[in-house]
Amino acid sequence: MNLAGHLKHSVFQIISSIAKEEGIEAYVIGGFVRDLLIDKPDSLPKDIDIVVIGSGIEMAEKVKRAIDEEVPLAIFKNFGTAMIKWGDTEVEFVGARRESYRRDSRKPMVENGTLEDDQNRRDFTINALALSLNKQNYGDLLDPFDGVKHLEEGLITTPRNPGTTFSDDPLRMLRGIRFATRLEFTIEPSTFEAIIANRERIRIVSQERISDELNKIMMTLQPGRGFLLLDQSGLLEIVFPELHAMKGVDEVNGQFHKDNFLHTLEVLDNLAYRSDNLWLRWGALLHDIAKPRTKRFEPDNGWTFHAHEFIGAKMIPGIFRRLKLPLNEKMKYVQKLVQLHLRPIVLSQEIVTDSAVRRLIFDAGEDLEDLMSLCEADITSKNERTVKRHLKNFQIVREKIIEIEEKDSVRNFQPPISGDDIQRAFGIPPSRSVGIIKNAIKEAILDGEIPNEFEAAYQLMLKQGESLGLTVQNEKEKGD
Ligand code: ATP
Ligand code: MG
């Protein structure tokens, strides 16, 4: 097979010319070739891996000089690699190598090798495909391990013995599951057996790399499948015990609860269908995370998971810290989604009062739409009519939200009277009384007892102040 037609980008021509002048061989290898064969895209994939039979760094330096604009070049001497960023394309150069591993590290010892050696060190047959950039066979596909056949069959398998491949670098187990999920491929049975056998080796991989793969699985079209594979391989129990704890069904007096793990994966896939916001997807994955801890069987009520939304929200920082996920506003956002995930459901089941909707808008703020999406994704009944009925109820809640939003703007609630205003009016320093009055005003607005306006809030302030024994020292400055 020849794919020269897809190698028109100037960077390939430049590499090809330099290779000829220097009398060394160069190839495009890995993900670029794989994705080219899958999609045959018109635009160039964003990252390109080049392997040269010689020094990758020297090749990169020559390519940089040959490009007639200024492009950044990063050299990683320790790894023997170099990277050029040309526009939004990243081209990575490496010398062909042969690798050997020690038991305690996924960092190999390397020596120079042939193209075959280099293809042989690749993780999967579909990632070991190379295209020649040499003049005599420009664009020729070099496929020593049947990668093209496996692409056609939708199969993930390794060039070498899978056990050695995974034991050498256990990160490959997660990569395999990630590719199987993203491409909707099957992991070849003996390859999957080797993952199961080597699952404990994942412990030598850094948490950053593990979480990087988890995030990539999260961003696929159907991440649920990835987590199912993680579970079936035994990796989930090691890398994500809280999620693993959600598995299974208990029975008391003939009453079962649903399998919270499978339910969660269904919610995640539903959500992924609606949104590609990574953190909203994390919210879906974690929304019921405290169910195992809060599970009780109550003779009168059956299975209950009291307060699982609050306890779940409390678990988020610990999980994020261990997974080395960001501990910033992204985490707070996920916490908020977990904590509030039952609120719209409760609303949709009752007669929706204005004040309940107002409080939801206030508590969820700018994340209300995301919360609604999560709740809609959370409807997973097998019965289509039940699903339809719930979705319709949510639609009513959504309409009510719009209606209330138009009436009172509580989403980014700014109290019409500030703490300063209260201090000035009564001539008092910052104190408990100020807080009490402020809170009373907020509550009254959220409950719809007074409108979200200065004058009404001022009157309530006076009333509250009076009952606290305060008298007005300064007349109002705001208002009309
Ligand atoms: P993507 O960029 O879409 O995540 P990719 O296959 O390009 O997929 P990269 O991480 O960019 O993945 O790696 C480029 C190539 O390097 C891979 O196609 C594979 O040939 C090789 N490779 C990457 N990581 C490993 C690894 N841990 N073990 C063996 N080969 C690897
Ligand atoms: Mg890549």
For residue 214, give the CATH number of its domain.
1.10.110.30
C-alpha span between 260 and 269 (Å, rounded)? 14
Of the residues 103, 132, 153, the one at which a domain ends: 153
State whether the beta carbon of 127 lies less than 6 angstroms from ligand 1: yes
| Token output for 18 | 């330099």
Domain end (from 210, 239, 268): 239
Q: Does the residue 389 lie in any domain?
A: no
Q: Say if residue 94 is in the same domain as residue 218.
A: no
Is residue 61 in a domain? Answer: yes
Query: From the CA of 147, which ligand is nearest?
Result: 1
**Amino acid letter, residue 49:** D
- Nearest residue CA, atom 4 of ligand 1? 31
Encoding tokens for residue 123? 């993780």
Using CA positions, which residue lies closest to atom 16 of ligand 1? 30
User: Residues 37-80: pLDDT tens digits?
Assistant: 988 565 666 799 999 999 999 999 999 999 988 999 999 998 88
Are the C-beta atoms of 148 and 141 separated by less than 8 Å? yes
Q: Are residues 215 and 116 in the same domain?
A: no
Which pLDDT belongs to residue 121? 93
Residues 14 and 149 in one domain: yes
Q: Looking at 245-328, list the stretches that DSSP marks H as alpha helix, in order from N- to C-terminal side.
A: 260-274, 278-286, 291-294, 308-322
Q: Kindly report the protein residue whose alpha carbon is nearest to atom 18 of ligand 1.
A: 30
Residue that is written with structure tokens 């009510």 in the block: 400
Residue 479 is predicted with a pLDDT of 47
Shared-domain flag, residues 128 and 159: no
The pair phi, psi for residue 124, each rounded to 5°, is: -130, 155
Q: How far apart are CA 62 and CA 15, in angstroms?
A: 9
Contacts of 133 (CB under 8 A, 6+ apart): 7, 12, 15, 16, 19, 26, 27, 28, 50
Domain boundary among 153, 175, 198: 153
Task: Identify the pLDDT of residue 399.
Answer: 86
> How far apart are the CA of 127 and the centre of ligand 1, in A?
7
The pLDDT value recorded for residue 172 is: 97
SS3 content of the chain, % helix, strand, coil (to 5): 55, 10, 30
CB 140 within 8 A of CB 26: no
Q: Which ligand is nearest to the CA of 159?
A: 1
Residue 381: per-residue pLDDT:
77
In a domain, 345, yes or no: no
Task: Find the CATH number of the domain harbouring 105.
Answer: 3.30.460.10
Question: For residue 252, what pLDDT is reported?
Answer: 85
Strands 186-187 and 155-156: parallel
The range of the structural domain enclosing residue 180 comes to: 154-239
Verify that 229 and 120 share a domain, yes or no: no
Return the residue whose CA atom lies nearest to atom 9 of ligand 1.
Answer: 31
pLDDT (0 to 100) of residue 258: 87
Residue to mutate (ligand 1; options 34, 51, 123; most atoms within 8 A of CB): 123
Are residues 136 and 195 located together in one domain of the fold? no
**How far, in Å, is the centroid of ligand 2 from the Cα of 5?**
21
Dump the DSSP string for 331-391: HHHHHHHHHHTTHHHHHHHS---HHHHHHHHHHHGGGHHHHHHHHHHT---S-HHHHHHHH
User: Any idea what DSSP says for residue 201?
Assistant: G
Residue whose CA is at the smallest distance from ligand 1 atom 1? 31
Residue 47 lies in a domain: yes
Asked if residue 105 and residue 26 are part of one domain, the reply reads: yes
271 lines ligand 1 (CB under 6 A): no
Same domain, 143 and 173: no
Contact 205, 164 (CB under 8 A): no
Tell whether 260 is covered by a domain.
no
* DSSP secondary structure letters along 110-158: EEE--HHHHHHTSSSGGG--EEE-SGGGTTBEE-TT-HHHHHHHTEE--
Asked whether residue 163 falls in the same domain as residue 125, the answer is no
CA dihedral 373, 375, 376, 379 (to 10 degrees): 150
Residue 358 lies in a domain: no
Q: Are residues 143 and 166 in the same domain?
A: no
For a ligand 1 pocket test, name from 28, 106, 122 the mutation site with the most ligand atoms within 8 angstroms of its C-beta.
Answer: 122
Specify whether 67 is located in the same domain as 87.
yes
Kindly give the distance from the C-alpha atom of residue 125 to the centroid of ligand 2, in angstroms, as a whole number.
15
Pair 173, 147 in one domain:
no
User: What is the rounded CA–CA span in Å between residue 50 and residue 28?
Assistant: 5
Give per-residue pLDDT as tens, 292-322.
999 888 888 888 889 999 999 999 999 999 9
Q: Which atom of ligand 1 is nearest to the CA of 171?
A: 27
Cβ–ligand 1 contact at 370 (below 6 Å): no
Give the Cα separation of 169 and 106 in Å (integer). Answer: 5
Does ligand 1 lie within 6 Å of residue 129's CB atom? no
In a domain, 252, yes or no: no
Provide the token pair at 179: 């590719």
Count of the separate structural domains present in the chain: 3
Domain assignment present for 330: no
Rounded CA-CA distance 437/441 in Å is: 6
With a cut of 70, list the residues of the chain below it in pLDDT.
40-45, 349-350, 477-480
